[in-house]
Amino acid sequence: MRSGSEILLDAWDRGEEECLDFKNLRNLVRHGEGQRLEFKMKVKFPEKIIKELVAFANSDGGHLFVGVGDEGQLEGLKFAEEDQFLLERAIDKFCFPAFSYRVYPVSLENGRKVLVYQVYESVDKPHFVQLEGEEQPHCYVRVKDRTVQASKEMKQILRREHQDGISFSYGDSERWLMDYLRTHGTITLQEFSTKLALPMWLASRKLVLLVLTKVLKVEPRESEDLYSLL
């Protein structure tokens, strides 16, 4: 059974204006952060916030509430329009390719506002953040209530997840992997490469293809992604 927060988020996704009020905002905040929900108190450093929006675009979409603390404190923003300008300038300057979102304010009882950024799941993945002074762009994805940097394999999966005609060869390596996962549950790229003495590039390619063909699923991690049977 779906939770009340998921039902409310779906209503917000559809743009049902009667849901976009303080009462429903408070109800959502009470459930805490999750796969499609993130809280930020301020926009003092917008470059630290935009990775959350990129992660939503690269994953299932989601909502960023600006003016809400990590523990659910509904403080709001005193100068919401200025904060909106700063954040959207950072999106335009540091995020690429462009992703779809909308923003709307929700007024609080204290006279302040919470900015709600609704980010749509993108069909143009992967999206990146590249700040000034950084040599390489960074890609982020959403995992439960966390935003993590995407691995090389995850970026390949995002890039090709809607591609047609993807196939793989079922050989000794794939047969061993299926047996291993039935017994152990999960495996990392490093483990797969080491246990079968496969070059990393080949182990990586095999895992990516198995995810794209819906044989495996991947759970992105900050250190190493975890692969398991779908």
Quote the tokens at residue 78. Answer: 């005193």
**CATH 1.10.10.10 residue ranges for the chain:** 152-229
**Residues in contact with 103: Cβ distance below 8 Å, sequence separation at least 6, in sequence order:** 84, 88, 115, 116, 117, 118
- Please give the single-letter amino acid code of residue 129: V
> Residue 75 pLDDT > 70, yes or no?
yes
pLDDT, position 4? 54
* Torsion (CA) 155, 159, 165, 169 in degrees, nearest 10: -10
**CATH 3.30.950.30 residue ranges for the chain:** 4-149
pLDDT, position 14? 65
Check if the beta carbon of residue 157 is closer than 8 Å to that of residue 125: no
Quote the tokens at residue 106. Answer: 């929700």
pLDDT, position 162? 87
pTM greater than the 0.85 cutoff: yes
Range of lowest pLDDT (72-76, 136-140, 153-157, 216-220): 72-76
Q: Is 86 exposed, middle or buried (0-12, 13-18, 19+ CB in 10 A)?
A: middle
Check if the beta carbon of residue 55 is closer than 8 Å to that of residue 140: yes
Residue 97 β-bridge partners: none
CATH architecture of 4-149: 2-Layer Sandwich (3.30)
6-46 residue pLDDT tens: 656 666 666 555 566 778 888 888 888 999 999 999 998 89
Q: What number does CATH give the domain 152-229?
A: 1.10.10.10
